Structure 1
Amino acid sequence: MKEVWLRKTGAEELVLFFSGWGMDSAPAKALFARSVEQGFRGDMVAFHDYRSPQCSAELCLAAEEYPRRTLLAWSLGVWAAGRSGVPVPHFAVAVNGTLYPRHADLGIDPAVFDATLESYSEENRVRFNRRMCGSREVLRHFTTMSSMRGAADQQEELRLIRKAISGGPAEKPTGWSYSRAIIGLKDAIFLPESQRSAWEGTGQRIVSEMPHWPFFHHSTIMELTA
Structure 2
Amino acid sequence: MKHRWLAQSDDSKLTLVFGGWALGSAPFRGLTGGGSILLVDDYTRLDDPLPDLAGFDRVEMLAFSFGVASAAHWLASTGFRPDRLVAVSGTLHPACADRGIAPDIVRATADQLSSASFVKFCRRAGLSADIPELDIEQARKELLAVIERGSAPDPGFDRVWISERDRIIPTNAQRAAWAATPDVVKGVAAPHVPFEPGQNWAEWMS
Q: Where does residue 202 of structure 2 map in the other structure?
A: 222
Distance in 2 (alpha carbons) for counterparts of 1:18 and 1:159: 18
Unaligned runs of 5+ in 2: none
Q: Where does residue 162 of structure 2 map in the other structure?
A: 183
Distance in 2 (alpha carbons) for counterparts of 1:151 and 1:66: 36
Matched, 1:128 2:108: no
Matched, 1:149 2:134: yes
The two structures have a TM-score, normalised by structure 2, of 0.87
Structure 1 residue 69, shift from structure 2 partner: 1.2
Matched, 1:115 2:111: no
| Counterpart pick for 1:66 among 56, 79, 83 | 56
Q: Which moved more, 1:198-207 or 1:8-17?
A: 8-17
The two structures have a TM-score, normalised by structure 1, of 0.80
Q: Which amino acid aligns with 1:15?
A: T
Q: Which amino acid aligns with 1:101?
A: P
Distance in 2 (alpha carbons) for counterparts of 1:67 and 1:107: 34
Counting only pairs closer than 5 Å after superposition, residues 1-226 of structure 1 correspond to structure 2 as 1-9=1-9, 11-28=11-28, 30-31=29-30, 34-36=31-33, 40=34, 42-56=35-49, 59=51, 62-84=52-74, 85=78, 87-133=80-126, 139=127, 141-143=128-130, 146-165=131-150, 170-172=151-153, 176-200=155-179, 201-202=181-182, 203-208=184-189, 210-216=190-196, 219-226=199-206
User: Given that residues 26 and 129 in structure 2 are in contact (C-alpha distance below 8 angstroms), is that contact kept between their aligned partners in structure 1?
Assistant: no
Distance in 2 (alpha carbons) for counterparts of 1:216 and 1:109: 28
Q: Which moved more, 1:210-219 or 1:197-206?
A: 210-219
- Residues 127-181 of structure 1, C-alpha deviations (whole Å, 9 max, x = no match): 2222212xxxxx4x232xx32223333222212222222xxxx2215xx421111
Task: Quote the sequence identity (%).
Answer: 29
Unaligned runs of 5+ in 1: 134-138
Q: What is the root-mean-square deviation in Å for CA atoms of aligned residues?
A: 2.2
Aligned length: 201
User: Given that residues 72 and 95 in structure 1 are in contact (C-alpha distance below 8 angstroms), is that contact kept between their aligned partners in structure 2?
Assistant: yes
| Alignment CA distance shift 1:182-1:220 (3 Å) | same
Q: Which amino acid aligns with 2:170?
A: L
Counterpart secondary structure, 1:181? strand
User: Given that residues 27 and 193 in structure 2 are in contact (C-alpha distance below 8 angstroms), is that contact kept between their aligned partners in structure 1?
Assistant: no
Distance in 1 (alpha carbons) for counterparts of 2:9 and 2:193: 30
User: Given that residues 96 and 102 in structure 2 are in contact (C-alpha distance below 8 angstroms), is that contact kept between their aligned partners in structure 1?
Assistant: yes
